[in-house]
Structure 1
């Protein structure tokens, strides 16, 4: 039986982490690999090593190490939680780690309207210890993501993975989780 590699895609505050935690609690033999946790760890203990600008190579290295370790040393299903808004990054993740011979690859795209996201970040109480550089709040992150989203191919396509689920409203989460569990049981 193949393991699942569930990869969440979406802007900040779209519901990726909540979805991942809920799926993990219902999908036996699974774990969440969340890059926000890696960023918080680095900022708490290794701030001086943090790259000042450009790609966050330290955070990505930690994610790569944990992913490789879990692939080799466990039989767990993966729930990868990060924005994955750029197709190049998703392709790297899916092709480098989640080989289609070993994994059933599932993308869950959170296509939540911008006005809802703006309201969520405005009222956010999430810890900002995941930021680096000039960011001080999630409103700044969302503004950047919205602007970049218009310039890139952020929306995943069905050809990228074995399954693509699109969440346009967080009320759809439970039914999508049920479908993912059914895929795992095949």
Structure 2
């Protein structure tokens, strides 16, 4: 059995975590790897180790350890639930960590309009303890939009992975999950 890796791509509050949790319920033998959980863990238990500027290398190291352990010691399908908006970052994931032939590589792009994201942010109950340099999720979205002018944050393309699904609204969730589950069963 070839394992699946499902990589979510999207801005804050686009539905990546909700989708990942629902997919994990329906895709047997799967595991979510979500860097927001690692950020919350560091914030709660190791706040002195959080960098004040630059990359959160500890968060990335924890994520890498979990991926490596899962790949080497389990046969779980992996659901990588992060923003993954950088083309270079996706390339690293898809070519180095999850190479063609070893995994069925699936990208799910959450292409949700900003107006919807802004409404979700206004009514969110999510803790901001995962944030280091932004005061709230509205600021995160504003920063993501500012970074979108750079080529490296380009939307995923069909040639990046074995399968690309683009989600434009919540009504597509069930159909995409069903298709991914079908891919897992051959």
Say whether the fold is shared (TM-score over 0.5).
Answer: yes
Per-residue CA distance 1:118-169 (angstroms, 9 max, x = gap): 1111221101110112x12100000001111132343000111000000001
- 1:85-96 aligned within 5 A: 85-96=85-96
Q: Secondary structure at the match of 2:176?
A: helix
Q: Which residue of 2 aligns with 1:41?
A: 41
- Name the TM-score, length of structure 2 as normaliser: 0.97
| Distance in 2 between residues matched to 1:10 and 1:180, nearest whole Å | 18
| Distance in 2 between residues matched to 1:27 and 1:123, nearest whole Å | 29
Q: Secondary structure at the match of 1:8?
A: strand
TM-aligned CA deviation for residue 100 of structure 1: 1.3
- 1:31-180 aligned within 5 A: 31-133=31-133, 135-152=134-151, 153-180=153-180
TM-aligned CA deviation for residue 65 of structure 1: 0.5
Matched residue pairs, number?
A: 185
| Distance in 2 between residues matched to 1:178 and 1:165, nearest whole Å | 12
| Distance in 1 between residues matched to 2:118 and 2:43, nearest whole Å | 25
TM-aligned CA deviation for residue 76 of structure 1: 0.2
| Distance in 2 between residues matched to 1:69 and 1:168, nearest whole Å | 33
| Distance in 2 between residues matched to 1:61 and 1:154, nearest whole Å | 25
| Distance in 1 between residues matched to 2:93 and 2:56, nearest whole Å | 15
| Deviant stretches of 4+, over 3 Å | none
Any gaps of 5 or more consecutive residues in structure 1? none
- Name the TM-score, length of structure 1 as normaliser: 0.97
Bigger mean CA offset, 28-37 vs 48-57:
48-57
Per-residue CA distance 1:79-131 (angstroms, 9 max, x = gap): 01000011111111122211212100000000000111111112211011101
Bigger mean CA offset, 176-185 vs 50-59:
50-59
TM-aligned CA deviation for residue 55 of structure 1: 1.5
Per-residue CA distance 1:22-66 (angstroms, 9 max, x = gap): 000000100111110000001111111112211221111110000
| CA-based RMSD | 0.9
